[in-house]
Homo-oligomer: A and B are copies of this chain.
Amino acid sequence: MNQESLFLLFDLVGTFAFAMSGAFKAIRKNLDLLGILILGFATAMGGGIIRDALLHRTPVSFTTNLYALFSLLGCLAAAAWHYVAKGRRLLDEDRAFLLLDALGLAVFAVIGASAGAAAGLKPWSVVVLAALTGAGGGAVRDLLVLEIPMVLHADFYASAALLGGLSFVLLSGAGIQPSFVSAAAFLTTLLLRIAAIFLGWSLPKLR
């Protein structure tokens, strides 16, 4: 399995996990069936759609069926879990689930950074685009049900994508080979996010 197909696999795993996290939130907020689908799809595709709107490209998720399919599967899986577990256990706070989500965050960050670099953006905005692609969907999910986006006040999530984007920019700037740059940015994001999950990292606040 080469790097490209591995990244596509992670991309779809991430889409699936993001859609699940959106659908879970929709179920808990007592939204209807359409609301569950909208929140699932918006979480899975929101980051990429915002990125593509900023880069004035037609959303990638609208020009292929693959992301829609895995978003739908994520929504169905969340509904199935809801019936099985009946709220006794919140899967999206489970570490196993968070690892799937972390795969998505890492691969989305790399895709965002690559798109920004290809569009000729400045280094700092390549970094922003990595974080926006990775964490934008979750922010849309939170805002749609009137919660202050998690990335603004808790956890170490978008920060992992930012640092992944930073490593992308630094290694690209150093003239490293693209496939290695992507792999390094992916691993930076993934490992930082995994560390955050297991060590309970969060950013300081001003007091």
Stretch at the interface among A50-58, A92-100, A104-112: A50-58
Complex CA gap A205/B37 in Å reads 12
Complex CA gap A148/B62 in Å reads 25
Oligomeric state, in copies: 3
In the complex, whether A184 has a CB less than 8 A from a CB of chain B is: no
Interface residue tally on A, bucketed by range: 35 or more
Interface flags, A28-48, vs B, CB<8A=1, else 0: 011111111011010000000
Q: Known: A34-B158, A153-B35. Is A79-B206 also a contact (CB below 8 A)? A: yes
Partner of A146 from the list B41, B52, B116, B148 (CB cut-off 8 Å) is: B148
Complex CA gap A83/B207 in Å reads 8
In the complex, whether A159 has a CB less than 8 A from a CB of chain B is: yes
Q: Is the CB of B144 within 8 A of A148?
A: yes
Q: Is the CB of A54 within 8 A of B59?
A: yes
Which B residue's beta carbon lies closest to that of A149? B144
Interface flags, A172-207, vs B, CB<8A=1, else 0: 000000000000000000000000000000111110
Stretch at the interface among A1-9, A11-19, A118-126: A118-126
Complex CA gap A83/B205 in Å reads 12
Q: Is the CB of A206 within 8 A of B82?
A: yes
Most buried by B among A29, A41, A151, A159: A151
| A contact patch SS | helix
Partner of A152 from the list B39, B121, B158 (CB cut-off 8 Å) is: B39
Which B residue's beta carbon lies closest to that of A39? B152
**Contact residues, A102-141 vs B (CB, 8 A):** 116, 119-122, 124-125, 128-129
In the complex, whether A20 has a CB less than 8 A from a CB of chain B is: no
Interface flags, A81-97, vs B, CB<8A=1, else 0: 01100000000000000
Ranked nearest first, the 10 interchain pairs of A and B with the lowest CB-CB distance are A35-B152, A62-B125, A32-B203, A56-B56, A33-B203, A31-B153, A31-B152, A68-B124, A32-B205, A62-B121
